[in-house]
Amino acid sequence: MKYTGRFFRVSCFVFCAAVLFSLSASVVYAAGEDAGVEGLWLRIPEFPDDADVDEFSADEDGEVTYIRSIDDGRFVLGVFRMPAGDEMTPEKLKETIAESVTNRGGDADDIEFDTAAEDFAELLSYPCLTAEYEIGENGDAKKFAVIGVFTDDYVFLVQAGVQADSFDDYTDRTQLWFEGMKFVGGSTSGEDENEGEEGRGDLFDDETGENGGREIDFVAVVYSLPEFRGVAWHIPAPGEYDLGSGFGLPNDSVCSVAVCPGYRVTLYQHSKFGGESAEIEDNEEDLGDLKRWASSLKVERIEEPDPDFALAWFEVQSENEQVFEEIDPAPKALKKHAERIKRFQAAGEMSWYGTTKDAERVKLGRELIRIFSDLGVDMDEWEADSFARMMNNFYDWRKDLSVWDTACLILNVDPEIFK
């Protein structure tokens, strides 16, 4: 699914918006885990596991508040649940959002409602509303968005807040996070134990318990290195994923693909599904001539998956996550390159792009190849210009890492061993 709303690469809830707006890294409440929430719950499994838990609470009436943040509070995500009722209709919720924005100094007339409501309703199989707005000016401005989901028993609101000057840093990642939203659990009344399981991002409608109650969190995985190594993008559901709009890896970085039985991945040479294409219906550990080629892709279900085969595939792919290359840097090489490594560790995205030209970045790429090769990393497939281009692509995708850590990410090397 490709979401059309401008902001819904970042989104979230409204009655606690004032809390979300004011939270910072210095305001941290007692941590909790949403795994213990009883009844139907809306989960965002792709959000970073190491996020700070700023607030968690659940009461006997079924109300739940779960707020997390990353990057010292620059991006804050909240999920809220309340019992459904006559006072929680979409129109009344819109009125509440408008009032909240006005009270916090924003302009209610500038709120954009329902730009992506139909897309989220299709994803979650329940009526939805969406709202996008900005509060504050200049360096204090923050962008917010709200997704309201109206189930039979509960109203869920998901709200994201991000500093306006950091908005572009999170657009691609948040698109992936929200495409992976799904319901888990069931009705607290016990009348429908499978509520939330059917058609909401899970692979199977578990009416017969075919998969033993276990969930399949993704239907395809693409990797930035051959043999299912490197950065892994777990694609949660069939849909269209275009560069800059849900594509979860840097441009021209796909090297291997794993496809769940019953599904097909189509790679496209250019963004917007242009250029040549290649269909993949089985695991491909090395794309050969198609390595570092794709800028967009589509995932589609082509037949009913066999539950046992699909679960076995899922378990194998789950084990591939965060497995770094095994290297044992020679002390002599570490000593030789220590100063340059420190400089690369201290340099960020602006140092790579800010004052350098293409030829200078190629020169730096050559130096990085030499250093990593001396440290025991296999660099045979890299040339100076191709490594520099990949550094560019990774920085276009993610800007928060140092030059050294970005190079480590490309090569699937643990940067911690050099600190």
Lowest mean pLDDT among 27-41, 276-290, 313-327, 393-407: 27-41
**pLDDT band, residue 5 (cuts 50/70/90):** very low
Percent of all residues in the chain with a pLDDT value above 70, rounded to a whole number: 83
Predicted confidence (pLDDT) per residue in 132-179, tens digit: 999 888 778 889 989 999 988 899 999 999 988 888 888 878 888 888
Which pLDDT score is estimated for 149? 93
**Domain 40-185 shares a fold with domain 220-320:** no
More confident residue, 250 or 62: 250
Asked whether residue 197 carries a pLDDT value surpassing 80, the answer given is no
What is the full DSSP assignment across 357-376?
A: -HHHHHHHHHHHHHHHHHTT
Question: What mean pLDDT do residues 319-336 have?
Answer: 86
**Per-residue model confidence (pLDDT) at position 23:** 39
Q: Which CATH architecture group holds 220-320?
A: Sandwich (2.60)
User: Of 13-22, 70-79, 356-365, which gets the smallest average pLDDT?
Assistant: 13-22
Q: How confident is the model over 216-226, as pLDDT tens digits? A: 889 999 999 99
Q: Indicate the pTM of the whole model.
A: 0.54
Averaged pLDDT score across all residues of the chain: 83
pLDDT at residue 18 greater than cutoff 50? no
pLDDT band at 204 (very low <50, low <70, confident <90, very high): very low
**20 vs 114, residue with greater confidence:** 114
Structure tokens at 256: 């291997």
Per CATH, is 40-185 categorized as 3.40.50.150?
Answer: no
Tell me which of 36 and 307 has the higher pLDDT: 307
Residue 285: is its pLDDT beyond 70? yes
Q: What is the dihedral of CA 226, 232, 236, 237, to 10 degrees?
A: -30
For residues 122 and 88, what is the distance between their CA atoms, to the nearest angstrom? 21
User: Domain ranges in the chain?
Assistant: 40-185, 220-320, 331-418
Q: Side by side, which strands form the sheet with 128-135?
A: 52-58, 64-70, 75-83, 154-163, 142-150, 128-135, 112-113
d(CA 374, CA 201): 45
